Amino acid sequence: MNTAPVLQAPAHWRCVDFLSDVHLHMDDADTFAAWQRYMAHTEADALFILGDLFEVWVGDDVLDHPEQGHFWQACARVLHHTSQRMPVYFMVGNRDFLVGERLLDVAGLTGLSDPTVLTWAGQRWLLSHGDALCTADVAYQAFRAQVRQSTWTQTFLAKPLDERLALARGMRQASEERKHTQDEWADVDTPTALAATLANHCQRLIHGHTHQPAVHQLDALHHRHVLSDWDARATPPRLQVLRAERGQAPQPVDTHNL
């Protein structure tokens, strides 16, 4: 893996939140409401969104969609409120990689490359969505390489909005069916994750995507922190961020206790 761009944290940051895989969708008002409440109340100095904030994003013009636009605009307003209080960094995931400049602008977000190195209080942390690290899923990696090419995205974004929404529904259905027929899911590949962490001189890797929140040892000195997905309707509800206090290891925090 090539070396990642570096984001230098300002000296005054004391507390930073990380979240991913909220999978915001208009059919899940409960998760939206819980996320909105968290976003209005967090007292972190910065927020890092590490991919798949949205269940699907087929282009920034969904903000104008006659039936769905109001929901995506509500999401943008929540982001905007928070980004007026603190910097909000936004990395795309595999479901919302088509988020573009328009959403970043209206929501006041700073886009991040995947991966990015955060340097803060003398530490270096590698931030990623995580899908690129699941190297055992060869078919997915080939798909990913194809759809991240600018020729593919330009062709896709040139299609009518309703056609793109229908294509996205079909792709989600196919992926759900694959989940039921496949016994094992590709997880993040440990040697790949360790190599990326070492190549960027980081102590910790923080990622989402796999929905298996944990902290793993990559080796004696390096750790991999996995973010939880969000689901307000699960029992118990999953509404978790990873919170780091200056100079300390990040810890999971249930946002309904905040």
Interface ranges with Mn ion (CB under 5 A): 52, 93-94, 209
Shortest reach from residue 177's CB to Mn ion, in Å: 18
**Apex CA 18: angle with CA 58 and CA 191, to 5°?**
85
Which residue carries 């995947």 as its tokens? 114
Q: Tell me the backbone φ, ψ of residue 257, rounded to 5 degrees.
A: -95, -5
Task: Output the residue with the shortest Cβ distance to Mn ion.
Answer: 209
Shortest reach from residue 239's CB to Mn ion, in Å: 18
Shortest reach from residue 211's CB to Mn ion, in Å: 8
The DSSP call for residue 257 is G
Instruction: Compare residues 144 and 246 and give the one whose CB is closer to Mn ion.
Output: 144
Sheet holding 223-226, edge to edge: 6-8, 116-120, 123-128, 204-207, 223-226, 214-217
Shortest reach from residue 191's CB to Mn ion, in Å: 21
Round to whole Å and give the CA distance between 117 and 40. 27
Of 214, 255, 215, 207, the C-alpha closest to 231 is 255
Instruction: Compare residues 83 and 94 and give the one whose CB is closer to Mn ion.
Output: 94
Instruction: Compare residues 20 and 200 and give the one whose CB is closer to Mn ion.
Output: 20
Residue pair 228/256 in contact (Cβ under 8 Å)? The answer is no
Shortest reach from residue 129's CB to Mn ion, in Å: 6
How many C-beta atoms lie closer than 10 Å to residue 247's C-beta?
10
Q: Which ranges constitute the DSSP H helices of 84-189?
A: 101-107, 138-147, 150-157, 161-181
Shortest reach from residue 52's CB to Mn ion, in Å: 4
Q: Tell me the backbone φ, ψ of residue 22, rounded to 5 degrees.
A: -75, -25
Instruction: Compare residues 130 and 250 and give the one whose CB is closer to Mn ion.
Output: 130
Instruction: Compare residues 142 and 221 and give the one whose CB is closer to Mn ion.
Output: 142
Instruction: Compare residues 58 and 120 and give the one whose CB is closer to Mn ion.
Output: 58
Instruction: Compare residues 52 and 60 and give the one whose CB is closer to Mn ion.
Output: 52
Residue type at position 6: V
Residue pair 126/206 in contact (Cβ under 8 Å)? The answer is yes
Shortest reach from residue 224's CB to Mn ion, in Å: 16
